[in-house]
Chain A
Amino acid sequence: MAQMTEQEILAGIGKIVNEITGVPASEVTPEKNFVDDLDIDSLSMVEIAVAAQDEFGVEIPDDQLKHLKTVKDVINFIQS
């Protein structure tokens, strides 16, 4: 897969988060913390991680997932 821009990844994450939790995609901005700002529980984070894997072709192992606190963390992980 060609390298995606941060904007493209952000849009993809926004779509996934909206689909799974109902949070409007426009609220999914890089600085947001999934738990504190977006009120997303750990089960939904698992769903988001699996959906992100399908969308971006990047596997997020469980031991990494727990370190991904903000939207920006996920973007960085996918880009790395």
Chain B
Amino acid sequence: MSTDQVRVVVTGLGATTPLGGDVASTWSALLAGRSGVRDLTTDWVDSVPVKFAAVAAVDPTEVLPRPEARRLDRAEQFALVAAREAWKDSGIEKVDPERLGVVVGSGIGGITTILAAYDTFKERGWQRLSPYTVPMLMPNGAAGWIGIEVGARAGVHATVSACATGAESIGYAIEMIRSGRADVVVAGGTEAAIHPLNIGSFAAMRAMSLRNDEPERASRPWDKNRDGFVLGEGSGIVVLESEEHARARGAHVYAVAAGVGYSADAHHIAQPEPTGAGVMLAMRRALQDARLAPEDIRHVNAHATSTPAGDVVETMAIKEVVGGHPLVTSTKSMTGHLLGGAGGIESVFTVLALQERVVPATINVDDLDDGVEVDIVRRDPRELPGGRISAINNSFGFGGHDVAVAFTSV
């Protein structure tokens, strides 16, 4: 089978985010311009300089049966909740297990499990460790659990590329279907890292916003007074399917997963490369892979995290590769930064923008920074044109990972 002949489509969406416990509530909150960022009320908040985060709107332990929840890390809980929603949404009733795959990753994995288990180990000894400690802490745990849930035997994978993880997973899934290894793949990212060690460590990098007096205003991509990202948690999952398989069962198709572009900065382990060369390469490759022209791209869900270094460079790269015409937004202004989950939820948002023909506004952009020469959607959502249009979801990660996923409307 020629790889050129297989088109991949999106047939299911799932998400649990700081804005809502499912796709519908999250999407309506995005369109309403609501912030998911709030004050932290945990007992450890005094030990860290950042007193807020974008905590999940619905705690997964309220949704999952207790015996199930206790053997899952919080990141796995989010992923399973989102995967169940996406799977149900896809309407798939029967699929050949050997043609069904999973690609779901996490930036950090079961970090809260590791730290809690180490406390248990030191205080009470190895005998008191949960026998599920290892499957809870491993970063491929979420993929494994989802694979068991849906019965996927074509391959279960977990890409790990920091904040590019979710997008890379979706890219890998597209390629898995195109290469003929699977007809259906459940793909996305998850993260649960709101823990003092993570906040302390990101703060040590001077990467986090310290706007403690105005948490809801802290995530402000492209605003002159942005001072860092806001940590979020949750998961976004999509069901990808070969067009042939989707049509044969009469599935609702949200969008075409048209292509993916990868690159790497080869510059610095954590700082963005200042010319945007890697970002441009990833977007060019996404266009090429999707066989799209720059003018086809009418919307970009940007990576833009609200850090001083990265936001403007990304817009320069968008202008250079795609042009000044797409409607650009950063939904992180409302969801915070879900790290490995970001590419998952933002792909869900990109697909919904194409289907609903509307782009959520970036909130908190009071004073647009110098050098931003693309069309940032601010204040109110804006409509996308009819007809066949395409969009890109950008995700970049520490390590120098650049991933651009292209979607096309149906």
Contact = CB atoms under 8 A, between A and B. Distances in A.
A77 B128 CA distance: 21
A20 B128 contact: no
B163 to A, nearest CB: 32
B65 A22 contact: yes
Interface in B66-82: 66-68, 70
Contact of A22 (B68, B128, B131): B68
Contacts of B67: 19-22
B116 to A, nearest CB: 16
B3 interface: no
A43 interface: yes
Contacts of B132: 43, 47
B5 interface: no
B207 to A, nearest CB: 38
A33 to B, nearest CB: 19
A19 B128 CA distance: 16
Interface in A30-78: 43-44, 46-47, 50
B127 interface: yes
B65 A47 contact: no
A21 B70 CA distance: 9
Contacts of A43: 131-132
Q: How large is the interface on B (under 10, 10 to 19, 20 to 34, 35 or more residues)?
A: 10 to 19
**Interface SS of A by simple majority:** helix
Interface string B64-102: 011110100000000000000000000000000000000
Contacts of B275: none
A47 B130 contact: yes
B57 to A, nearest CB: 25
Contacts of A20: 67, 70
Contacts of A50: 127-128
Contacts of A47: 130-132
A24 to B, nearest CB: 11
Nearest to B128: A50
Contacts of A22: 65-68
Contacts of A21: 67
Contacts of B130: 47
A20 B65 CA distance: 11
A47 B131 CA distance: 7
Nearest to A44: B131
B67 to A, nearest CB: 3
A63 to B, nearest CB: 15
A57 B131 CA distance: 20
A50 B125 CA distance: 12
A21 B65 CA distance: 10
Contacts of B65: 22
A75 to B, nearest CB: 22
Interface in B215-259: none
Interface in B29-88: 65-68, 70
Interface string B361-392: 00000000000000000000000000000000
A43 B130 CA distance: 9
A19 B66 CA distance: 8
Interface in B129-184: 130-132
18 contacts: A19-B66, A19-B67, A20-B67, A20-B70, A21-B67, A22-B65, A22-B66, A22-B67, A22-B68, A43-B131, A43-B132, A44-B131, A46-B131, A47-B130, A47-B131, A47-B132, A50-B127, A50-B128
Given A43-B131, A46-B131, 13 more contacts: A19-B67, A20-B67, A20-B70, A21-B67, A22-B66, A22-B67, A43-B132, A44-B131, A47-B130, A47-B131, A47-B132, A50-B127, A50-B128
Interface of B: 65-68, 70, 127-128, 130-132
Question: What 7 A-B pairs are tightest by C-beta distance, nearest first?
Answer: A22-B67, A43-B131, A46-B131, A21-B67, A22-B65, A47-B131, A20-B67
